[in-house]
Chains A and B, each alone.
Chain A
Amino acid sequence: MAMKTLVVGVGNPILSDDGVGIFAARMLMERGIQGVSIEELPASGLELLDMVLDHDRVVIIDAIQTKNGSPGDHYIMAEEDFKRTVHGTSPHGFNIATALAMGRQVVPERMPKEVFFVAIEAEDVDNFREGLTPKVLASLPAIVDMIERDLIRRKG
């Protein structure tokens, strides 16, 4: 049976770089990659769980802000990297890592075998405006290429 891959762009598309995951997902959508479904997730948490169930591989693209990062940097992470944040935190109930952990706890048989997080360093996540800041925008094509090549088309 063909592998079912899902790409989820997370964020708010009218809150500057907060929407970078959404914009990356839309670029992948335009490429029309066979056997890959693309979703936008404007909310955090359990909505993600509804989406990922019954897929083999899931790629989640979201914004991040780290202390020493530069806008447009990106990091690839796995579920294990969130062990520290799964417990003890949860904005309005569920953050993404908690939602996945709850899925593994309650419906493990329907959870994807592989989950990759692509975190893109954001410059501005506080001001409502359409579009990304210049450095983040400039970094996007190469990141989207990488996602398609290394994550989506990766041999399972």
Chain B
Amino acid sequence: MAGPIINDTTVKTKERKITIDPVTRLEGHGKIEIFLDEKGDVSNAYMQIPELRGFERFCIGRHVQELPVLTNRLCGVCPAAHHIASTKALDAVFSAEPTATAKKLRELFYMGQYTHSHIAHFYALAAPDFVLGPSAPAAKRNILGVVDAVGVPIGAEVIKHRSYGQKVQEIVGGRATHPVFGLPGGVSKQISEEERVQMENMAKSCVEFGKFSIKLFHDLVLGNKDYLGLILNQDAYYLETYYMGMVDKNNKSQFYDGDVRVVDQTGKQVVKFKPSEYLDIIAEHVEPWTYMKMPYLKSVGWKGFVTGPSSGIYRVGPLGRINVCEGYTTPLAQAEYEVFRKTMRDLGVTGPVHHTLAFHWARLIELQHAGERMLELASDKSITSDDIRGPWNPPKEGVGITEAPRGTLIHHYRSDKDGLCTMINMIVATTNNYAAMNTSVKQAAKALIHNGEVSQGLLNKVEMAFRCYDPCNSCGTHALNGSPALQLTVRKADGSVVKTIRNF
């Protein structure tokens, strides 16, 4: 196959405002506006995210036990994460400690979600940039182009293992996409021995696919000096922020349950907190030009879209998790983590990895870990026990936190004595990353666009700066025509359209 197309020819634009609308390969409609100064350099850039309305009002007055199946309707991409966070919030609302079996089943289900989600992101969203190149023709730069380039058998493996992730969720959760099994203090469905064996076999295959995916990343990306150059480009893809993610008592990375750890730009622990303490740690900033709030560390403060120790901006998701943890509990993920650390150390990076595109590598290490952990849990014969529900108490207020594939996800509910919801607050992963994503977009635009010279490849490289976060906006809207491709609009200062470039 021909090599990837990294660069293309730029065209000089006389306009002062560049709009990327809507953002491609991003659930929900995003829009990027890039403003140029008189010299044609970037003066500012914004990423706007629209909002679906009325969800909180929709939930108030309903029974809190409905929330795990309602909140997961917020999104067609990560419903499982909402279901788990919501179920954990109900554990807290009803002071209900789940049984050991229930915890294992929830975590097993969740490893299915990680497997499905991380495969979809890497192969469908990231791989087009790494296999075909950021400047490859837009019509080819998609999953179909990837399969053309790498071969149909690999495409079949992608479909198969993503489907295994879904199947595990379906077996444990009742339904793959909008699960129904989470109850305060447990789960609603027992697993049979046949189902356990079926999941064990799928998990074995997922471990192998994790190995394959990591090797592919080494061959395609790390083995290509142009890509390595992109990843290490500190002008375009590098933010020294705080990081947040879940860990166990040994600071090993955890997805389902644990304490939330925050580290600073040097890797030093700032705080480790329990779900009920989140309001002491996180505050939210509001900008006039977007509906989505921007969380920041309360103890540090909001200083705008800047980085460094005095700015409370933090990052979550695979990069956040790999930077707050001291490794993984499973051997293959741990081994690759050590390769990751050594590679970065050899490049002079001793603390957290601030290179934004390293999100992709971290995500694949997590794919490996999810497969291994899935196998550990599915091999445990005790998961077929009927001890799936613990006792519960009268409802009150509670917070549940889990690590969604995209990052830390917080659900907070208050209930009256009859179990009716009187307050709901959620901070979702993409919201946690929103300030950082804006900062990344601005940084990449400033580094890559000069003298008004733009090209589709350059603009795609700006998109790469936030695509690696795997953002997922408040979604659920997927009208058939709802996602036209990337459109770049050049406007005069009065907003009238002078020229439109489409890549579809």
CA distance A5 to B162 in the complex (A): 25
Give the residue of B70, B76, B503 whose beta carbon is less than 8 angstroms from that of A14. B70
Report yes or no: B54 in contact with A95, Cβ–Cβ below 8 A: no
Q: Which of B70, B120, B147, B481 has a CB less than 8 Å from the CB of A64?
A: B481
Selected A-B contacts with CB under 8 Å, 6 pairs: A13-B73, A63-B479, A87-B504, A89-B486, A94-B124, A127-B53
> How far is it, in angstroms, between the C-alpha of A101 and the C-alpha of B155 when the chains are bound?
12
Q: How far is the CB of B285 from chain A (nearest CB, A)?
A: 24
Instruction: State the interface size on chain B (CB cutoff 8 A).
Output: 57
Q: In the complex, are the beta carbons of B144 and A101 less than 8 A apart?
A: yes
The yes or no answer to B180 lying at the interface (CB within 8 A) is: no
Could you tell me which residues of chain A, from 47 to 81, have a CB within 8 Å of some CB in chain B?
47, 49-50, 62-66, 77
Take A44-B76, A88-B24, A88-B141 as given contacts and tell me if A12 and B476 are in contact as well, using a CB distance cutoff of 8 Å. Answer: yes
Q: Tell whether A28 is near chain B: CB-to-CB under 8 Å.
A: no
Per-position contact with A for B138-156: 1 when CB-CB < 8 Å, else 0?
1111111101100010011
A residues lining the B interface (CB < 8 Å): 10-15, 18, 41-47, 49-50, 62-66, 77, 84-96, 98, 101-102, 105-107, 117, 119, 122, 125-129
With a cutoff of 8 Å between Cβ atoms, the chain A residues found around residue B25 in the complex are 89-93
Q: A47 touching B166 by the CB < 8 A rule?
A: yes
From 472 to 486 in chain B, residues with beta carbon under 8 angstroms from any chain A beta carbon are 472, 475-486
B26 within 8 A of partner (CB): yes
Known contacts A91-B27, A107-B156, A129-B54; A102/B479 CB under 8 A? no
In the bound assembly, the distance between CA atoms of A102 and B148 in angstroms comes to 10
- Cα–Cα distance between A127 and B474 once the two chains are bound (Å): 12
Q: Is the CB of A102 within 8 A of B155?
A: yes
Given the known inter-chain contacts A42-B178, A105-B147, A106-B159, please indicate yes or no for A93 contacting B125, CB distance below 8 A: yes
B73 and A122 contacting across the interface, CB-CB below 8 Å: no
Q: A42 is contacted by which of B24, B177, B479, B484 (Cβ under 8 Å)?
A: B177
Q: Given A65-B479, A84-B504: A127 and B54 within 8 A (CB)? A: yes
CB proximity of B475 to chain A, nearest CB, Å: 8
**Interchain CA distance A25-B27 in the complex, whole Å:** 24
Q: Please pick, from A64, A90, A122, the residue contacting B142 in the complex, using a CB distance under 8 A.
A: A90
**Which 9 residue pairs spanning A and B have beta carbons closest together?**
A93-B124, A43-B76, A12-B476, A88-B504, A88-B485, A92-B27, A89-B485, A44-B478, A106-B155
Given contacts A90-B124, A98-B144, A128-B58, contact A63 B480 (CB under 8 A): yes
Judge if B163 is at the interface, Cβ distance under 8 Å. yes
- Residues in A whose Cβ lies below 8 Å from that of B55: 128
| Contact (Cβ within 8 A) A64 B58 | no
In the docked arrangement, what's the CA distance between A36 and B344, Å? Answer: 56
Contact A85-B159, Cβ < 8 Å, known A98-B142, A102-B147, A128-B53: no
